[in-house]
Amino acid sequence: MGTLHIVNKPATRGGFARCLAVASANDHVLFIEDGVYCALPAVLAGARREDLLLHALGTDVHARGIDVLVSPQVEVIDERRFVDLVVACRPIVTWS
Amino acid sequence: MNKKRILILVRSPPYAGATSYETLEAVLVAGVFEQAVTVVFMDDGVFQLVRNQDTGELGVRNVGKGLRALDTYDVKELYVDGASLQQRGLTAADLEVPAKPVDAVHIGNLIRLNDVVLTS
């Protein structure tokens, strides 16, 4: 399943850019907490990584009212799926 | 004890709170327990490596001195993101301990080779 990259801060903090620079093809990227703002199309447009599997945690997306703004490239997932990813991926890297 | 391959990704500068020394302690402890430890310094984390740190006035533990202890604890795999150094006008000569310069692709490979990644 490859590496799970967890991004928990907005793109302006730099963590997401570093994640993109080092992630390998088919790695999973999960946006949580303030990291869900990285899931907006305007932010992802600069990413240019079609080879990554993008997810955002629904709880954090709903809380911030950005459900309709999240890019269609990003799969909004529930906590159960979050756990599945954590179990399946190795290693897990957090980017702040 | 199962030997785990542990990568420590250091992205924060020293002395902004206790994080950097606590990370260093985690590295030392992993070394004591004979885990395979790799440390990568990138972004502002490269400032941890700068030589001649003197914390006498600040009154906190010296990260630079702590780094010198790594070798004793059998932690020998130290890497630094070359671009992060360059962006900050630093070269290998400015560093307290030798760290191998690598690029983003190499760091990606290092992540994949490890079981556990800790970030600070």
Q: Please tell me the distance from the alpha carbon of residue A59 to that of residue A77, in angstroms, as a whole number.
A: 9
3-state helix, strand, coil in chain A (%, to 5): 40, 20, 40
**pLDDT, mean of residues B46-52:** 91
Nearest neighbour of A21 by CB, restricted to B7, B104, B117: B104
Tell me which chain B residue has its CA closest to the CA of residue A18. B104
CB contacts of B117 in chain A (<8 Å) are 91-94
Q: Is the pTM of this model over 0.95?
A: no
Look at residue B1 and tell me whether its pLDDT is greater than 80.
Answer: no
Write the DSSP symbol of residue A66.
Answer: -
φ/ψ (deg, to 5) at B78 = -115, 130
Q: Please tell me the distance from the alpha carbon of residue B115 to that of residue B6, in angstroms, as a whole number.
A: 6
The pLDDT value recorded for residue B100 is 97
The pLDDT value recorded for residue A64 is 85
Q: In this predicted model, what pLDDT tens digit does every residue of B50-98 receive, in sequence order?
A: 898 988 888 888 999 999 999 998 899 999 999 999 988 889 999 999 9
Q: What is the ipTM of this complex?
A: 0.72
φ/ψ (deg, to 5) at B112 = -65, -25
**Beta partners for B41?**
B10, B80
CB contacts of A3 in chain B (<8 Å) are 111-112
The count of structural domains within chain A is 1
The count of structural domains within chain B is 1
> Which amino acid, residue B40?
V
Q: Quote the domain boundaries for residue B115.
A: 5-119
Write the DSSP symbol of residue B60.
Answer: S
Q: Quote the domain boundaries for residue A54.
A: 4-95
**Beta partners for B114?**
none
Look at residue B16 and tell me whether its pLDDT is greater than 80.
Answer: no
For B85, the enclosing helix (H) or strand (E) is helix B82-87
Tell me what the pLDDT averaged over chain A comes to.
Answer: 94
In this structure, what CATH number is given to the domain that contains residue B48?
Answer: 3.40.1260.10
| Residue A83 C-alpha, separation from nearest chain B C-alpha, in angstroms | 17
CB contacts of B7 in chain A (<8 Å) are 91
Tell me which chain A residue has its CA closest to the CA of residue B44. A14
> What's CA A68's distance to the chain center, in Å?
16
In this structure, what CATH number is given to the domain that contains residue A35?
Answer: 3.40.1260.10
